[in-house]
A and B are shown apart, each in its own frame.
Chain A
Amino acid sequence: MSGFLQNTFNGLVGGAFYALLALGLAVIFGMLRVVNFAHGAFYMLGAFGAYVLLAEAGVPFWAALVIMPLALGLLGMVLERAVIHRLTRLDPLYNFLLTFGLTLILQDLVKSRYGVQSSPYATPAGLTGSVDFGLFDFPAYRVFILGFTVLLCVAVWWVLGRTRIGMVVRAATERPELTRAFGIDVGKWVTPVFGFGIALAGLAGVLAAPMRAVNPLMGADLIIVVFAVVVIGGLGSIFGSVAAGFGIGLIQAWGEAYLSDYPLVSQTVVFVVMAAVLLWRPAGLFGREEAPA
Chain B
Amino acid sequence: MNMRRSVGVAAASAAALLVAGCGGGGPQSGGDSKLTGDKIVLGVLNDQSGAYSELSGRNSVKAVEMAIADFKAKHGDDAVTKNISVETADHQNKPDVANSKAQEMYDRKGVDAILDVPTSSAALKVADVAKEKKKLYFNIGAATTDLTGKSCNRYTFHYAYDTYMLAHGTGTVTTEQVGKNWYILYPNYAFGQDMEKSFSAAIGAAGGQVVGKDGAPFPNTSGDYSSFLLKAPTLNPKPQVLGTMQAGAELVNVVKQYNEFKLREKGVGLAVGLMFITDIHSLTPAALAGTTYTDAWYWNFDQQNREWADRFQSETGTRPSFAHAANYSAAMQYLEAVQAAGSDDADAVVKELEGKEVNDLFLRNGKIRAEDHRVVHDAYLAQVKPQAEVKEPWDYVKILKTIPAAEAFRAPSADCKL
Residues in A lying within 8 Å of B, measured CB to CB: 3, 6-7, 10, 13-14, 111, 115-120, 122-123, 130, 139, 141-142, 208, 210-213, 215, 217-218, 221-222, 224-225, 252-253, 256-257, 260, 263-264, 266-267
Contact = CB atoms under 8 A, between A and B. Distances in A.
Contact of B224 (A6, A10, A122, A141): A10
B283 A118 contact: yes
The 6 residue pairs across chains A and B that have the minimum distance between CB atoms: A213-B252, A257-B227, A213-B249, A256-B227, A118-B252, A117-B54
A266 B226 CA distance: 13
Contacts of B262: 130, 139
A10 B282 contact: no
B234 interface: yes
B260 A123 contact: yes
A142 B257 CA distance: 10
Contacts of B230: 3, 6-7, 10, 257
B217 A267 contact: yes
B217 A266 contact: yes
Contacts of B252: 118, 213, 215
Contact of B226 (A130, A218, A253, A260): A253
B223 interface: yes
Interface string B226-240: 111011001000000
A252 B256 CA distance: 20
Contact-residue size bin, chain B (C-beta under 8 Å from the other chain):
35 or more
Given A10-B226, A225-B221, A211 B53 contact: no
The binding surface of chain A is classed by DSSP as helix
Contact of A213 (B49, B215, B250): B250
Contact of B223 (A123, A213, A224, A263): A213
A222 B221 contact: yes
B177 interface: no
B303 interface: no
Contacts of A14: 222, 224, 226
B188 interface: yes
B219 interface: yes
Interface string B202-225: 000000000000111101111110
B358 interface: no
A135 B228 CA distance: 19
B36 interface: no
Interface in B232-283: 234, 248-250, 252-253, 256-257, 259-262, 278-279, 281-283
B216 A212 contact: no
Given A6-B230, A123-B260, 10 more contacts: A14-B224, A116-B51, A117-B279, A118-B248, A142-B260, A212-B223, A221-B221, A252-B222, A263-B215, A267-B220
A122 B219 CA distance: 24
A117 B260 contact: no
Nearest to A127: B260
A37 B53 CA distance: 26
B49 A224 contact: no
A105 to B, nearest CB: 14
Nearest to A222: B221
B104 to A, nearest CB: 24
Contacts of A116: 49-51, 53-54
